[in-house]
């Protein structure tokens, strides 16, 4: 029988520190520059070309986004394009299904961080979570976290909230934090739903100030961003990043 990672009542009552969602949102939305600093500028479509990745990096450097988020194959290209800019490269692993072997996750995380990625977004083992094998979920995240942190990067764990029950979202959030996640993340953007204010608020309720919360999936307008920041996100993942900044006055 698999070990159960308990959700303590205290974990859900903000005794792990509080996060000022309203204050953070107000600061992030005060200027387009402040907003850019909390957006992961994202290009994950399977048919993305080298030219498109290079254009994404050029935009990331111009607007000073939190990172340029790309698929693993493009890490060397993005690292080269962003060299000297101070804008980090972000990359997805175990993506988008959350069905990789732990050894594969570990190797992927090691490879991309050694190549220069500084942020790693992994999909947790969704099927294992829904099967009740919480120890396997913890093991997978912990393995990726160890490698990622050892190589000087941070780990965001994608829950794919649209596929989970409320209980599973709570359980996954607690497991991910205990396993070493730096951020809880809502969605891949490749399933049947994306970020919602309710899910962001739920993730922040579990996290308190212990980890970040990244909202991603279906975020296309400044109004979307405002709602999700006010719900508790402190990082946004979007491919419509430049258009969103232009709504706030960027050129």
Residues tagged active-site? 121, 185, 214
C-alpha span between 211 and 154 (Å, rounded): 11
Under 8 Å between Cβ of 18 and 232:
no
Cα separation, 12 vs 112, whole angstroms:
34
Q: Give the pairing of strands 89-93 and 67-70.
A: parallel
Q: CB neighbours (10 Å) of residue 187?
A: 27
CB proximity list for 90: less than 8 A, separation 6 or greater? 40, 67, 68, 69, 70, 117, 118, 119, 120, 121
Distance CA 19, CA 211 (A): 10
Contact call for residues 147 and 110 (beta carbons, < 8 A): yes
Q: Are strands 119-123 and 154-158 parallel, antiparallel or unpaired?
A: parallel
Q: Which two tokens stand for residue 83?
A: 């060299």
């Amino acid at each position: 029988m698999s070990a159960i990672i308990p959700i303590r009542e205290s974990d859900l009552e903000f005794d792990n520190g509080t996060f000022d969602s309203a204050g953070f949102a107000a600061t992030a939305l005060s200027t387009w520059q402040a907003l850019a600093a909390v957006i992961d500028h994202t290009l994950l479509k399977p048919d993305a070309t080298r030219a498109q990745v290079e254009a994404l990096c050029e935009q990331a450097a111009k607007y000073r986004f939190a990172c340029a988020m790309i698929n693993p194959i493009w890490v060397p290209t993005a690292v080269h394009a962003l060299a000297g800019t101070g804008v980090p490269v972000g990359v997805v692993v175990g993506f988008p299904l959350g069905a990789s072997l732990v050894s594969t996750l570990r190797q992927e995380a090691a490879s991309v961080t050694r190549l220069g990625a500084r942020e790693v977004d992994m999909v947790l083992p969704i099927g294992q979570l829904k099967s009740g094998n919480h120890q396997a979920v913890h093991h997978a995240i912990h393995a990726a976290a160890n490698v990622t942190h050892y190589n000087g990067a941070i780990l965001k764990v994608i829950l794919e909230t649209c596929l989970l029950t409320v209980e599973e979202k709570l359980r996954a959030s607690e497991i991910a934090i205990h396993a070493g996640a730096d951020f809880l993340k809502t969605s891949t953007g490749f399933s049947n739903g994306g970020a919602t204010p309710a899910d962001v608020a739920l993730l922040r309720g579990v996290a308190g100030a212990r980890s970040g919360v990244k909202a991603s999936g279906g975020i296309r307008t400044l109004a979307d961003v405002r709602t999700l920041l006010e719900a508790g996100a402190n990082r946004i993942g979007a491919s419509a990043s430049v258009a969103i900044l232009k709504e706030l006055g960027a050129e």
